């Protein structure tokens, strides 16, 4: 069963497609779907047909690089987006090409201190939020999504995927997270 569908906005670029592909590989029970000319409604219907709970839509930004991430909720009877948008500053793609798909859930943890954005990302992806990073908790999972608040002028958060042997997959540099209702 697929819990999460990852796709791109229309007219995507190679870096946007690469991010979608790599996110589908680092998250549990995720599948990359080529959007083509599908509307949001068609994408919603496809996800419901596959019994997915969420759709992650990666859009392009400046220079065709990944620029924003939207989250669609497929558990309701009508199309709804989660009320926040992640604006990316950049993505650092992994040099390792051969990392494996996880065998179980990839939970979200915050680095050093609790943050609302960590919880919102976990909720939007329908995965557990485990609070502040602790080695004892981390050791019981194959992979963890670590959200690190940075709070610099041009960088708000860094999201990375870590395993016992180190980082895998893409590293997301988040400029800001905007909380607002997204109308369809």
Summarize pLDDT for 94-122 with one digit per residue, the tens: 887 677 888 889 999 999 888 899 999 99
CA distance 67 to 60: 5
DSSP state string for 3-72: -EEEEE-SS--HHHHHHHHHHHHHSTTEEE---TT--HHHHHHHHHHTT-SEEEEEEE-GGGSEEEEEEE
Is the CB of residue 9 less than 8 Å from the CB of residue 16? Answer: yes
* pLDDT at residue 152, as a whole number: 87
Is the CB of residue 158 less than 8 Å from the CB of residue 148? Answer: yes
* pLDDT tens column, 51-108: 999 999 999 998 999 999 999 999 999 999 999 999 999 999 988 767 788 888 999 9
Q: What's the CA angle centered on 29, arms 58 and 84, to 5 degrees?
A: 35
Q: Choose among 118, 111, 100: nearest CA to 163.
A: 100
- % the chain with pLDDT above 70: 99
pTM exceeds 0.85, yes or no: yes
The alpha-helical segments, DSSP class H, found in 31-126 are 40-49, 116-125
* pLDDT at residue 55, as a whole number: 97
* pLDDT tens column, 162-184: 998 889 999 999 999 999 888 77
CA distance 182 to 162: 31
CATH code of the domain made up of 4-179: 3.40.50.10480
Chain-centroid distance of CA 71 in Å reads 8
Sequence ranges of the domains in the chain: 4-179
Sign of CA dihedral 46, 48, 49, 50: positive
* pLDDT tens column, 120-151: 999 999 999 999 998 888 888 989 999 999 98
């Amino acid at each position: 069963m697929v819990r999460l569908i990852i796709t791109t906005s229309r007219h995507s670029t190679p870096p946007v497609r690469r991010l979608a592909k790599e996110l589908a590989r680092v998250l549990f029970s995720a599948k990359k779907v080529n959007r083509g000319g599908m509307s949001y409604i068609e994408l919603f219907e496809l996800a419901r047909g596959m019994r997915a709970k969420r759709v992650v839509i990666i859009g392009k930004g400046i220079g065709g690089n990944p620029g924003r991430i939207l989250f669609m909720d497929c558990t309701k009877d009508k199309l709804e987006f989660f009320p926040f948008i992640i604006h990316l500053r950049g993505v650092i793609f992994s040099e390792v090409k051969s990392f494996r798909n996880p065998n179980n859930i990839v939970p979200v943890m915050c680095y050093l201190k609790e943050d609302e954005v960590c919880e919102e990302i976990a909720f939007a992806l329908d995965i557990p939020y485990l609070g502040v990073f602790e080695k004892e908790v981390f050791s019981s999972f194959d992979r963890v999504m670590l959200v690190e608040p940075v709070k610099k002028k041009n960088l708000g958060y860094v999201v990375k995927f870590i395993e016992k042997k180190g980082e895998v997959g893409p590293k997301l540099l988040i400029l800001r997270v905007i909380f607002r209702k997204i109308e369809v």
